[in-house]
Amino acid sequence: MKKTLQKSIFVLRVRFVNKFISYCRKSWLQLCGMKIGKSTGIPKMQYTWPHQVAIGDNCRLEHNIYFHYDGIWKQGPSIIIGNNAFVGFGCEFNITKKITIGNDCLIASGCKFIDHNHGTAQGSLMREQKSTEDAIVIGNNVWLGVNVTVLKGITIGDGAVVAAGAVVTKSIAANEIWAGIPAKKIGER
């Protein structure tokens, strides 16, 4: 009896309560300007400007993703995720210019995308210097392992794989496998 009650509560929570809460979040964020595709559920997450985010159809997002558009209000979107993408727990999109993620991508937990950098010239405080920025482009069917960091101006080609913990400082061609800090090519698919 106790086991049946526990299973029933679990099913009720997962199938109905979580879906209802996700529906309410999705409706609110769409009202705020976020573009969210069909069959994409919205978990608990953080964001600065909802209208700067566009998420495609059939995407699976895990909790605690941070969509941080680092700038003043402007027309969006600047954070674009294609169809059938997976974005894991605790990913951070820290974007000033733009990031585009293609269809069918797998973005594991803890990945970070940063498309800008602080100035480092001598003679003035780094925090007061104008930052440099350049868009990030992730192709289709790309797999980024846990805790990958992708820096400004990077293009990752279709079908590429980046190993867990890598820091991507150079663009990656299609179907290549990269790993390390800084990331280097270690093979091909």
Q: What is this structure's pTM? A: 0.89
Architecture of domain 32-188: 3 Solenoid (2.160)
DSSP string over the chain: -HHHHHHHHHHIIIIIIHHHHHHHHHHHHHHTT-EE-TT----S-EES-GGGEEE-TT-EE-S--EEEE-SS--SS--EEE-TT-EE-TT-EEEESS-EEE-TT-EE-TT-EEE-EE----TTS-GGGSPPEE--EEE-TT-EE-TT-EE-TT-EE-TT-EE-TT-EE-S-B-TTEEEETTTTEEEEE-
User: Looking at the predicted structure, is the pLDDT value of residue 156 above 90?
Assistant: yes
- Point out the catalytic residue in the list 51, 63, 68, 118: 118
Residue 118 catalytic?
yes
Q: What is the pLDDT of residues 45-102, one digit of tens each?
A: 999 999 999 999 999 999 999 999 987 888 889 999 999 999 999 999 999 999 999 9
Q: What is the pLDDT of residues 121-145, one digit of tens each?
A: 888 898 888 888 999 999 999 999 9
